[in-house]
Structure 1
């Protein structure tokens, strides 16, 4: 799909959805509608369960679990999914590959959930010490932009490091075995590896300020063209937003449900994770565009994108009223 075709399709889709909102009030959720929602680390499913929102869903939902954006993109291309919970980079990589997957919901945390984590025996005090190191590089995931921006903050280019392309699922073992010097990890892997084998997060305070932790729901265009799917998606996003608010207000209960009971993290380690985790913030499409443009610019300047996209054309505002009503 070339740029002209992409932008024309995006414009038509946005106009169609905007028109659809005028009649959406007359739509009700069909209980027989099937909605396939890609999950990661089973976060979405557990958030709905813990908050009590899951039993209230008015449609048939499935939450297949994936390890990273690239695998989700392939499932989207195969029409096996309707919407997906992804990090901040997958929608950009999908666009770069010519696949239109409009962003329909944005959820961010002020402090990133990603952590630059070094192998046992290696302590990184300053981001500048990443120069010359062997770093994990997961093309098409949010980890990619986080790593690039970390190098930017340190004045290091991608040519100054050795990049090791790995799957998301392989990152913890790569750190554990010393196959890489530093990987971009999330909890509970950071806490587990720190305690079990002596790995350590990068100590530079700037590391916590690199980028906020932004996640999106993006959608398959065919799903957005189906009024029954649109009604189910709106219902789902409302449930997710209410679940996020519940988790923010009930941090201890959420931590026990997700980290301690599901992921088998000790209560002490769960407390550490919660202390480092900032609340989920719901954003409208207009509010989310500036950060998304920054991510596009980071990837473009690093040579990971052949074209600098306009972030505005990656979003649809169809479901913004759901976000506004929930916060």
Structure 2
């Protein structure tokens, strides 16, 4: 793979990629086309399967599973992925590193998926109690900006806590071993650690209102310039949005498939998870930009990115029409 081409981030190159993607809308997808999409917690795989949308995809779709944005970034830099499902921070960290991976689709929930989870004896009753605590820090993950926002909610900064730099895969064990006092986790790990070690979420009401739970699909620019790949992305996104709508309307069936059968959770735990989730909302590039700018500015204020970035340069509107047509 030509690294110089990959690192090219000029507006002209992205505009050219978007134009080529639009032309793909008039081309049929060759059944031999292969699209490799990074998944996390096998969410996409099971959403497509449970909704029946996987059967509607007439090309080769590979969904390798990853643990967090940093590992995905390395894989997409190596050319092993076409597009990726990531949290809200990885596209910003990529741009800060000089790599613009254009965001092609956005989906969000009004209530955050992340939770601040403490071991049983940590003694954190409100966000202000985070001062001086050992707190997990996963740079390049959506957990990063969530923690920063939590600290801001209590009038604190990253300098007011002891940051323990970890990988996503290390968070559960770190909390079990009390190597950290608080970790930023998602389900089903929150529920599992509550049962296993008596872990509990920080009960401050602000913890549930800090940020919406926003995720993106981003792409290698070269992929958007490939007619067959771009058409496959269009078909994939249409199926994904329809699958998300299905999960909103069929919460019980989705919970039974994903939380009970796949994640092996008991009925009480599965119900608790689903009751904490707000519906999936699918956004166009223009609709998603204000929140993305807020995230960028938050990371800048915290010193986590070296310069101010403009959110509009992170998005292409190539696939907006397919999102709006299916949402």
Normalising to structure 2: TM-score of the pair?
Answer: 0.96
Q: Which residue matches 1:236?
A: 236
Q: CA deviation at 1:321?
A: 0.4
In 1, distance between residues paired with 2:98 and 2:34?
27
Task: Tell me the alpha carbon deviations over residues 91-144 of structure 1, each in whole angstroms, 9 at most, x when there is no partner.
Answer: 001111111210000000000000000012224221000000000000100000
Q: Which residue matches 1:219?
A: 219
Question: Structure 1 residues 16, 192: closer, same or farther in 2, change over 3 A?
Answer: closer
In 2, distance between residues paired with 1:192 and 1:216?
26
SS of aligned partner of 2:305 = coil
RMSD between aligned alpha carbons?
Answer: 1.5
In 2, distance between residues paired with 1:16 and 1:80?
19
SS of aligned partner of 1:72 = helix
Q: Which residue matches 2:255?
A: 255
CA contact (8 A) 2:17 2:224 kept: no
In 1, distance between residues paired with 2:265 and 2:146?
25
In 2, distance between residues paired with 1:75 and 1:16?
21
Alignment of 1:1-327 (within 5 A): 9-18=10-19, 20-21=21-22, 23-327=23-327
In 2, distance between residues paired with 1:6 and 1:55?
36
SS of aligned partner of 2:214 = strand
Count of aligned positions: 323
Residue segments in structure 2 that go unaligned for 5+ positions in a row: none
CA contact (8 A) 1:107 1:282 kept: yes
Q: CA deviation at 1:15?
A: 4.4
CA contact (8 A) 2:38 2:84 kept: yes
Normalising to structure 1: TM-score of the pair?
Answer: 0.96
CA contact (8 A) 1:175 1:181 kept: yes
In 2, distance between residues paired with 1:148 and 1:71?
21
CA contact (8 A) 1:36 1:62 kept: yes
Residue segments in structure 1 that go unaligned for 5+ positions in a row: none
CA contact (8 A) 2:20 2:224 kept: no
